[in-house]
Amino acid sequence: MMANTVTASMSVSREDATEKTLLQRCLEGERLAQKQLYQNYSQAMYTLAYRITNDADLAHDALQEAFIDVFQSLKSFKGSGTIGSWIKTIVIRKATKTVKFEKRFETLSDKHELSVDYQKFTSTALEREIFALPEGYRTVFTLCEIEGYKHTEIAKMLNISESTSRTQLHHAKKRLKTKLKNER
């Protein structure tokens, strides 16, 4: 058991060292290192951008703009979190900016929180219905329910009020619950 703990901590240390080396090489302007960083994160970040934009072209545009920002501001990465979470924040900002969703949000006076047990549904049906949500609903739903952001964080990212964020999530859950009730 002790050997597994030591091996696990050694592999984490190697991964951390490899990542730090990769970041240093990127900071030095090494193109192959930049390509490797992009390859390490592009698929997951594209998926996130697509979930927000619901459009392949917009997701590609957001991803490209995000990585331009990543490489231009890499020197500002402090290392307090993971590079992946830092890149994720940039991708979210770019994707939300790309779809210009500020005008697509509604305010709801009803403050009821809807609870949906997503485990009951097939992943295909759930994914299909999430992508069918209006942009504002889908964006807040993705950030809150899938990515785990709090309404205060979402409000800052999207330049909306916390109550608007809650409203959009409420509408998204309500619509998903209605659409998926026959999918079990």
DSSP letter, residue 118: G
Q: Is the pTM of this model over 0.75?
A: no
Which CATH number characterizes residue 52's domain?
1.10.1740.10
CA atoms of 68 and 33, how far apart (whole Å): 14
Count of domains for the chain: 2
pLDDT at 131: 87
Residue 100 has a pLDDT of 63
Quote the tokens at residue 156: 């800052």
CA dihedral 98, 103, 105, 109 (to 10 degrees): 160
The percent of residues above 90 in pLDDT, for the chain, comes to 28
Measured between alpha carbons, how far is 27 from 182 in angstroms, rounded to an integer? 52
Q: What is the pLDDT of residues 78-107, one digit of tens each?
A: 888 889 989 999 999 899 888 764 345 444
Q: Same domain, yes or no, for 109 and 160?
A: yes
More confident of the two residues 115 and 71: 71
Reported as a single tens digit per residue, the pLDDT across 137-180 is: 899 998 998 888 899 888 888 888 888 888 889 988 888 888 87
Rounded CA separation 24/101 (Å): 36
Mean pLDDT for all residues in the chain: 79
Last residue of a domain, one of 54, 77, 99: 99
**165 and 118, same structural domain?**
yes
